[in-house]
């Protein structure tokens, strides 16, 4: 759009003022820096001033062109930014320098789908008064100075130097965090003169379709943060913990609903605080920082107390998300300035910076969703119980891991008081010789049961309150013992101390797992395990009644062909009265 003279004027005091239609109103006159320069030069060669423009050949030269995209206002001419319609908001396509470099506005061109809502983060805060997101000239799409030919959804200027000092080193972070849309960001570590291109992704997020008002009620309100800061989780269940900076409980949410919740608390204008940072500014780990010479105590993780360093051009601030005190590594989100150097300080705690490593940032900060699983961001995790086999979780060592296939077997159709046994099956009977004892049990307080066979991968981690190991005793009975742990390497089950001194268990005696070995207190009972291969199970349900007439008695229900598969399994007890 060419400059419309009636929309611009030059004040007696050398102020260049915009007096045209405001944003969102038809006729708003957006001009490039070059068009502004050409207009000023055109007025400067006039014999005398005319209209509302105090400019002619007798006046000082108002502007100078270094390039078509870099214009300097000279001899005291300035943009009038205090007027009702600030002049800088209606100029784009390059840089305006005034005061010999005391004030600089650099050009920004956002490359994204039309309508992209852009947040500009400067000096650790989101810029308000985001005029660039207006709908120009009465159009239905947001974003001023849209250019279909070049894919620019908005073009504008941002002030990066004021009163002779760079604003946060001219660093700018651009984000789009609109509900229902994909999140993305682009960081400029220091704008250059002219036009700075900002590529962003802005499209419908097919895994973010819940009405935003629903996020304030169940199941979303059941999400909680279990652990803040450095913590250990064995995501792949291999017996070796990995390191993370977060641990979340998704509560009653599906994994995709959890993903939506994380988007909700980190969206634009979100009121939530995430690990000490305003949700709309939370990005996750951006850098790891090794340190030496710790003094003054310990660093605080996930708090709003900034980590600081440097002065002037070396200054910066960050938020500590995790502190690995074993290896002396901080994991931080950079908030302002440059990466840490020299002495780092948080309150009265200090250390000396070592190696600083930049980390890839995910948008949103939790990672991505496939709809049925989560692809976690660097260092981000849920608690182990909330993870499934298709989730991909990246630890602080940079390695991505997947949980095993945790499955559940459920016996339904029960009534409180029914006795339930689920055990390994031969296909026609309970497999009582699943294990054989390696050594007789004869002590008065036995706590370890060693077997000869490998303990299967799909053995539940603990049996307490749910299952058992049944052991053949000298009197021919299979007694129940709720193991509290087992060790696959030593083939040992740990049980509460039990007296085997008068009714022992012989070396080589049979034993088997009661995957469920309990009295029901609900309409169903279940157990969970790591799936390794299909397993045939025996299910037996009994209840002899309680009343004088035993009107609530049932006939034994049993099956020896129930199946546990890669999606779990179950059996519905077809109860028949035995009144």
Which residues partner with 229 through β-bridges?
none
For residues 496 and 466, the answer to whether their CB atoms sit within 8 Å is: no
Q: What distance in Å separates the CA atoms of residue 238 and residue 235, rounded to the nearest whole number? A: 8
Q: Among residues 96, 119, 231, which one has the least CA distance to residue 186?
A: 119
* Count, residues in the chain: 579
Q: Among residues 251, 224, 341, 238, which one has the least CA distance to residue 290?
A: 341
Whole-model pTM? 0.84
Q: Among residues 66, 73, 77, which one has the least CA distance to residue 104?
A: 73
Q: What distance in Å separates the CA atoms of residue 426 and residue 388, rounded to the nearest whole number? A: 30
For residues 517 and 421, the answer to whether their CB atoms sit within 8 Å is: yes
* pLDDT on residue 140: 78
Q: Per residue of the chain (579 residues), what is the pLDDT tens digit? A: 699 999 999 999 999 999 999 998 989 999 999 999 999 999 999 999 988 899 999 999 999 999 999 999 999 999 999 999 999 999 999 999 999 999 999 999 999 999 999 999 999 999 999 999 998 876 778 999 999 999 999 999 999 999 999 999 999 999 999 999 999 999 999 999 999 999 999 999 999 999 999 999 999 999 999 999 999 999 998 889 999 999 999 999 999 999 999 999 999 999 999 999 999 999 999 999 999 999 999 999 999 999 999 999 999 999 999 999 999 999 999 999 999 999 999 999 999 999 999 999 999 999 999 999 999 999 999 999 899 899 999 999 999 999 999 899 999 999 999 999 999 999 999 999 999 999 999 999 999 999 999 999 999 989 989 999 999 999 999 999 999 999 999 999 999 999 999 999 999 999 999 999 999 999 999 999 999 999 999 999 999 988 777 889 999 999 999 999 999 999 999 999 998
Q: Among residues 380, 331, 382, which one has the least CA distance to residue 359?
A: 331
Enter the DSSP assignment of 441.
Answer: B
SS3 assignment, position 188:
strand
Alpha helices (H) in 156-284, listed in sequence order: 255-265
Enter the DSSP assignment of 147.
Answer: B
Q: What distance in Å separates the CA atoms of residue 94 and residue 195, rounded to the nearest whole number? A: 5
Backbone angles phi, psi at 573, to 5 degrees: -70, 115
Cα–chain center distance at 95? 36
Q: Among residues 146, 170, 164, 162, which one has the least CA distance to residue 81?
A: 162
- Two tokens, residue 569: 């399994």
Q: What distance in Å separates the CA atoms of residue 469 and residue 458, rounded to the nearest whole number? A: 14
The CA-based diameter of the chain, rounded to the nearest angstrom, is 121
Residue in this structure with the two tokens 């850098």, named with its chain if needed: 287
In 313-461, DSSP assigns E strands to: 316-324, 329-337, 343-346, 349-358, 367-369, 374-378, 392-394, 400-401, 406-412, 419-424, 435-436, 446-450
HSE-up of residue 61 (Cα within 13 Å, Cβ side): 8
Q: Among residues 405, 519, 513, 535, which one has the least CA distance to residue 460?
A: 513
Exposure string for 29-66, b = 16+ CB within 10 A, e = fewer = bbbbbbbbbbbbeebbeeeebeeebbbeeebeebbeee
Which residues partner with 90 through β-bridges?
none
Respond yes or no on whether the N-terminal peptide bond of residue 364 is cis (omega within 30° of 0): yes
Enter the DSSP assignment of 87.
Answer: G
SS3 assignment, position 8:
strand
Which residues partner with 196 through β-bridges?
108
For residues 397 and 242, the answer to whether their CB atoms sit within 8 Å is: yes
* pLDDT on residue 136: 80
Q: Measured between alpha carbons, how far is residue 355 from residues 287, 339, 540 in Å? A: 10, 10, 61
């Amino acid at each position: 759009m060419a400059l419309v003279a009636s929309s611009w004027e030059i004040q007696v005091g050398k102020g260049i003022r915009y007096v045209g239609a405001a944003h969102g109103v038809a006729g708003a006159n957006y001009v490039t820096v070059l068009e502004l320069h050409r207009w000023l030069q055109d007025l400067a060669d006039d014999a005398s001033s005319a209209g509302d423009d105090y400019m002619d050949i007798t006046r000082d030269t108002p502007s100078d062109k270094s390039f078509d995209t870099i214009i300097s206002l000279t001899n005291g001419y300035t943009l009038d930014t205090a007027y009702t319609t600030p002049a800088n908001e209606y100029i784009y396509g390059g840089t305006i320098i005034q005061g010999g470099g005391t004030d600089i506005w650099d050009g920004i061109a956002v490359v994204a789908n039309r309508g992209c809502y852009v947040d500009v983060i400067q000096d650790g805060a989101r810029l308000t008064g985001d005029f660039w997101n207006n709908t120009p000239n009465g159009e239905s799409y947001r974003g001023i100075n849209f250019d279909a030919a070049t894919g620019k959804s908005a073009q504008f200027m941002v002030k990066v130097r004021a009163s002779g000092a760079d604003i946060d080193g001219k660093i700018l972070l651009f984000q789009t965090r609109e509900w229902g849309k994909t999140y993305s960001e682009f960081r400029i570590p220091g704008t250059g003169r002219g036009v700075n291109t900002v590529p962003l992704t802005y499209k419908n997020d097919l895994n973010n379709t819940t009405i935003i008002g629903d996020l304030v009620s169940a199941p979303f309100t059941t999400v909680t943060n279990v652990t803040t800061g450095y913590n250990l989780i064995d995501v792949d269940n291999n017996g070796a913990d990995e390191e993370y900076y977060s641990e979340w409980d998704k509560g009653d949410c599906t994994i995709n609903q959890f993903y939506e919740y994380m988007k909700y608390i980190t969206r634009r204008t979100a009121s939530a605080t995430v690990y000490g940072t305003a949700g709309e500014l939370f990005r996750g780990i951006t850098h790891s920082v090794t340190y030496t010479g710790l003094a003054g105590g310990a660093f605080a993780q996930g708090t709003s107390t900034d980590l600081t360093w440097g002065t002037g051009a070396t200054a910066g601030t960050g938020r500590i998300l995790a502190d690995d005190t074993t290896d002396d590594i901080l994991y931080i989100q950079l908030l302002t300035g440059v990466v840490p150097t020299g002495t780092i300080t948080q309150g009265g705690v200090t250390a000396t910076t070592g190696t600083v490593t930049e980390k890839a940032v995910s948008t949103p900060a939790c990672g991505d969703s496939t709809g049925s699983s989560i692809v976690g961001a660097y260092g981000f995790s849920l608690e182990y119980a909330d993870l499934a086999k298709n989730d991909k979780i990246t630890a602080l060592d940079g390695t991505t891991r997947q949980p095993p296939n945790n499955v559940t077997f459920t016996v339904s159709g029960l009534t409180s008081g029914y006795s339930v046994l689920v055990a390994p099956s031969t296909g026609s009977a309970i497999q009582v010789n699943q294990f054989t004892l390696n050594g007789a049990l004869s002590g008065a307080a036995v706590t370890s049961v060693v077997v000869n066979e490998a303990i299967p991968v799909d053995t539940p981690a603990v049996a307490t309150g749910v299952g058992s190991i049944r052991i053949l005793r000298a009197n021919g009975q299979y007694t129940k013992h709720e193991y509290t742990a087992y060790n696959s390497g030593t083939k040992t089950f740990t049980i509460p101390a039990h007296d085997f001194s008068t009714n022992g268990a012989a070396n080589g005696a049979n034993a088997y797992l009661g995957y469920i070995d309990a009295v029901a207190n609900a309409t169903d009972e279940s157990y969970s395990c790591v799936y390794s291969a299909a397993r045939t199970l025996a299910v037996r349900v009994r209840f002899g009644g309680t009343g004088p007439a035993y009107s609530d008695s049932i006939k034994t229900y049993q099956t020896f062909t129930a199946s546990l598969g890669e999606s779990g399994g179950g059996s519905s007890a077809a109860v028949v009265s035995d009144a």
